[in-house]
């Protein structure tokens, strides 16, 4: 191996273990010293390459990893949060729809009858045609002629539906007339009853009227009187 080739090989890799380089060095004293010189030079180069590393670099690298993990975890949990919110939203919608499903007022009217016994006029004014009509006005209705025997005229709530409750004294006993506004979410059965009372309803254009009396009472008379005398403006 000539001098130039030997130098090339040593310059390229002073740590070489290639047998031809090793052999060449064995045979030649000057090659050996050149090699040693190069090894020494490499040591110096390695030393020079070892620039200082910022003391806290390692901690920084570990810290940024946990920060990264944390933000990713947060992003992930935000995803879960969104999922939970979406589920809650669906449940909410479902509940609302369930809550808003048509109310059947027959049962409500019957239940209300339990209190009707104790009920008396909230107003001190006498129950006359004007007073009843004033209260009916909010439903857009009026009586052309007063019903006989009206004792009480109160607004009351059947579930969430505001209605006008008239308690009427008839030859058949006390009866209740409920005027209920027509609403999409209300269902008024044409007949209903329980162990004590029974009721029938009259469907009108803008309202439903429920008449509830004793379970044996004949409702036809008052039903006729109401439907003849009540009218609703279009």
Partner 1 sequence: MLGRNKSDSGQVLSGMKAKHQRYEALVKAFHADIYRYAFWLIKDQSIAEDVVQETFLRAWRSLDALNDEKAAKSWLITILRRENARRFERKQLDTVDIDDCHIQDDTQHADGDLKDRELQRLLGGLSLEYREPLILQLLFGFSGEEIANQLGLNKNTVMTRLFRARNQLKEALEKQNEQRGRVNG
Residue 8 within binding range of partner 1, rule CB under 8 A: yes
Q: Could you say whether residue 42 binds partner 1 (CB under 8 A)?
A: yes
What is the distance between the alpha carbons of residues 99 and 218, in angstroms, rounded to a whole number? 35
Smallest distance from partner 1 to CB 90, Å: 25
Q: Minimal distance in Å, beta carbon 5 to partner 1?
A: 11
Compute how many residues bind partner 1; rule: CB under 8 A.
28
Residue 148 sits in the site that holds partner 1 (CB under 8 A): no
190 in Cβ contact with 201 (< 8 Å)? yes
Does residue number 39 form part of the binding site for partner 1 (CB under 8 A)? no
- Choosing from 64, 90, 101, 220, the residue that interacts with partner 1 (CB under 8 A) is 64
- Under rule CB under 8 A, residue 41 binds partner 1: yes
Among 44, 75, 118, 234, binds partner 1 (CB under 8 A): 44
Nearer to partner 1, 32 or 60 (CB): 60
Distances in Å between the Cα of 188 and the Cα atoms of 96, 113, 183, 211, 217 are 21, 16, 10, 11, 20
Residue from 19, 47, 195, 233 that binds partner 1 (CB under 8 A)? 47
Check binding of 50 to partner 1 (CB under 8 A): yes
**159: left (phi > 0), else alpha (psi -120 to 50), else beta?**
left
Site membership for partner 1, residue 62 (CB under 8 A): yes
User: 223-230 contacts: CB < 8 A, separation 24 or more?
Assistant: 225/147, 225/148, 226/147, 226/177, 226/202, 227/202, 229/143, 229/144, 229/145, 229/146, 229/147, 230/136, 230/141, 230/142, 230/143, 230/144, 230/179, 230/204
Interface residues toward partner 1, by CB under 8 A = 8, 11-13, 15, 38, 41-42, 44-54, 57-58, 60-62, 64-65, 68-69
């Amino acid at each position: 191996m000539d001098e130039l080739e030997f130098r090339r090989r040593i310059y390229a890799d002073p740590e070489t273990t290639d047998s031809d380089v090793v052999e060449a060095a064995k045979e030649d004293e000057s090659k050996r010293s050149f090699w040693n010189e190069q090894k020494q030079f490499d040591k110096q180069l390695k030393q020079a390459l070892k620039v200082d590393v910022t003391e806290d670099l390692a901690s920084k690298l570990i810290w940024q990893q946990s920060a990264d993990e944390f933000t990713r975890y947060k992003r992930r949990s935000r995803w879960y949060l969104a999922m939970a919110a979406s589920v809650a939203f669906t449940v909410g919608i479902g509940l609302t729809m369930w809550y808003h499903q048509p109310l059947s007022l027959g049962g409500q009217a019957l239940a209300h009858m339990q209190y009707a016994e104790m009920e008396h006029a909230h107003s001190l004014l006498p129950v006359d045609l004007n007073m009843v009509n004033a209260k009916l006005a909010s439903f857009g209705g009026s009586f052309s002629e007063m019903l006989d025997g009206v004792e009480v005229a109160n607004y009351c709530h059947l579930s969430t539906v505001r209605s006008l409750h008239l308690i009427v004294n008839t030859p058949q006993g006390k009866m209740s007339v409920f005027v209920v506004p027509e609403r999409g979410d209300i269902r008024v059965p044409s007949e209903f009853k329980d162990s004590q009372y029974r009721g029938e309803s009259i469907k009108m254009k803008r309202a439903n009227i429920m008449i509830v009396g004793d379970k044996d009472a004949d409702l036809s008379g008052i039903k006729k009187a109401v439907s003849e005398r009540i009218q609703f403006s279009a």
